[in-house]
Amino acid sequence: MGKKGHVLMQKYEFGCLLGQGTFAKVYHARDLRTGDDVAIKVIDKERVLKVGLVDQIKREISIMRMVKHPNVLQLYEVLATKTKIYFIIEYAKGGELFNKLANNGRLSENKARKYFQQLISAVDFCHSKGVYHRDLKPENLLLDENGVLKVADFGLSVLVESRHQENMLHTVCGTPAYLAPEVISRHGYDGAKVDIWACGVILFVLLAGYLPFYDLNLMALYNKVSNADYKCPNWVSIETRRLLAKILDPNPHTRISTAKIMGSYWFRKGLNSKSDKMKKEVTTNVALVDSSIEIVGVCEHQSPAIAENHALVKPTYLNAFDIISLSAGLDLTALFANNNEQDGVKFTSTSSASSIISSLEDIARVLEMKIIKNDGGLMKLERLREGRIGALSIDAEIFEFTPSFHLVEIKKSCGDTLEYQKILKEDIRPALKDIVWVWQGEQQ
């Protein structure tokens, strides 16, 4: 997988390797339907499982789904196979921002400001969604073909909801030279303040061409960071120094906020009406968030005959998050579902939706159950005779991966659990054996 020329699910043709992170390889690829460039981040499921990163991947998907901003790389789609997860991401043709620095390794104040404005706009937007990057560094700052800044890699972000009780993050992560003092001192930290500190370090590097805090000895480096012990080179203007001092404030409580940075005279220089446009764009994107990214990993093309059948059955489509959670070897179901006896059993089937429906109808007949609902991919079966606590009622829901590959979930919606378990084991399962490909979550 990932070899040049290899076509992924008839959709994307792999190109060259762009870069390699700890758990993922990033490739350039072409969307065969549109001819557009994309980047594909390929994650090895086994490696992710070995190091217990399932949670992080799950988090990365849900976070990337929430973030849509002109300066944040967009996640288009997530696909999964038995061994790999593929993130289809907006391609940043211009590569890493820091490769673009001039010979002396730095930028003029105006150019540095231009990138800083975009960086803060992205960071402020993410913070407003409760998303913190926590690992802002040069490798994560990419450019598109028009030189627009794109922030990459939200793999280490943490949502507000998953913060510790005292509203502080405790995981030590990030790159030492960009780490805020409170992260190093391990006293718990506020993700927003940590990102602002990293933006300060990035601004310094853009202007100076070298890091503000550097020492080969890690303890000495930590000391420098903790005391905000840095010196601006003489070509940095007084105004810029003032802003840098407010950002690189070792006390997170007094450190400047993104709102104040955006309101500062230095930041607003050169923005004028463009800033209003930028603000407008951001607001529009806030409104679009959540509904904007459809990460549906299903086949979209089907024959007319199959399409006709589907008009009757209309199974629910699965998104990539569902697919990943269901695919063998990386079953995340337990992480977001309560596996008690009320929960359904699931199986995948290579039969068409209509054959699945007719098998379920046969079962209903044999078990003397009436079909009280059969549309939108949901069948409701109810027993004619009353049980101990009312009539047993069973739901069977059909989800479509492709026209010839479905997931079916069967669960009790009403009645006695013991009665349900008995008929599930003795009647339903054996009756379905011809159409079941794999019972999910069960060792084959």
Could you list the active site residues?
135
Query: Which residues neighbour 127 within 8 Å (Cβ) at sequence distance 6 or greater?
Result: 191, 192, 195, 258
Query: Which residues neighbour 340 within 8 Å (Cβ) at sequence distance 6 or greater?
Result: none
Other Cβ atoms closer than 10 A to 288: 12
Q: How far apart are CA 12 and CA 14, in angstroms?
A: 6
Stretch near ligand AMP under the rule CB under 6 A, chosen from 89-97, 276-284, 339-347, 418-426: 89-97
44 is an interface residue for ligand AMP by CB under 6 A: no
61 is an interface residue for ligand AMP by CB under 6 A: no
* 41 vs 113 by CB, closer to ligand AMP: 41
Q: How far apart are CA 158 and CA 118, in angstroms?
A: 22
Binding mask 64-83 for ligand AMP (x = CB under 6 A): ---------x----------
Q: How far apart are CA 339 and CA 77, in angstroms?
A: 28
- Applying CB under 6 A, among 152, 221, 244, 360 the residue interacting with ligand AMP is 152
Query: Which residues neighbour 156 within 8 Å (Cβ) at sequence distance 6 or greater?
Result: 56, 133, 134, 135, 173, 174
The two tokens of residue 418 are 């013991």
Q: Do 131 and 159 contact (CB within 8 A), yes or no?
A: yes
Q: How far apart are CA 274 and CA 422, in angstroms?
A: 67
279: left (phi over 0), alpha (psi -120 to 50) or beta: alpha
Residues from 339 through 398 that contact ligand AMP (CB under 6 A): none
* 139 vs 281 by CB, closer to ligand AMP: 139
* 15 vs 212 by CB, closer to ligand AMP: 15
88 is an interface residue for ligand AMP by CB under 6 A: no
48 is an interface residue for ligand AMP by CB under 6 A: no
Q: State the nearest-atom distance from the C-beta of 345 to ligand AMP, in Å.
A: 37
The two tokens of residue 350 are 């290579």
The two tokens of residue 167 are 């509203």
Q: State the nearest-atom distance from the C-beta of 20 to ligand AMP, in Å.
A: 6
Q: Is 50 annotated as a binding residue?
A: yes
Binding mask 15-34 for ligand AMP (x = CB under 6 A): ---xx-x--x-x--------
91 is an interface residue for ligand AMP by CB under 6 A: yes
Q: State the nearest-atom distance from the C-beta of 420 to ligand AMP, in Å.
A: 46
Q: State the nearest-atom distance from the C-beta of 39 to ligand AMP, in Å.
A: 3
Give the number of residues in contact with ligand AMP, rule: CB under 6 A.
16
**CB-based closest residue to ligand AMP:** 19
- Applying CB under 6 A, among 39, 179, 225, 398 the residue interacting with ligand AMP is 39
145 is an interface residue for ligand AMP by CB under 6 A: no
Q: State the nearest-atom distance from the C-beta of 18 to ligand AMP, in Å.
A: 4
142 is an interface residue for ligand AMP by CB under 6 A: yes
Q: Angle at CA 315, nearest 5°, toward 383 and 291?
A: 125
- Applying CB under 6 A, among 53, 57, 88, 92 the residue interacting with ligand AMP is 92
Q: How far apart are CA 244 and CA 74, in angstroms?
A: 29
CA max distance for the chain: 88
37 is an interface residue for ligand AMP by CB under 6 A: no
- Applying CB under 6 A, among 13, 139, 229, 361 the residue interacting with ligand AMP is 139
**What is the chain's Cα-based Rg?**
27
Residues in the chain: 444
Q: State the nearest-atom distance from the C-beta of 161 to ligand AMP, in Å.
A: 24
Q: State the nearest-atom distance from the C-beta of 373 to ligand AMP, in Å.
A: 45
CA distances from 109 to 105, 192, 442 (A): 13, 25, 60
The two tokens of residue 273 are 């009406």
Binding site for ligand AMP (CB under 6 A): 18-19, 21, 24, 26, 39, 73, 89-92, 96, 139, 142, 152-153
Known binding positions for ATP = 50
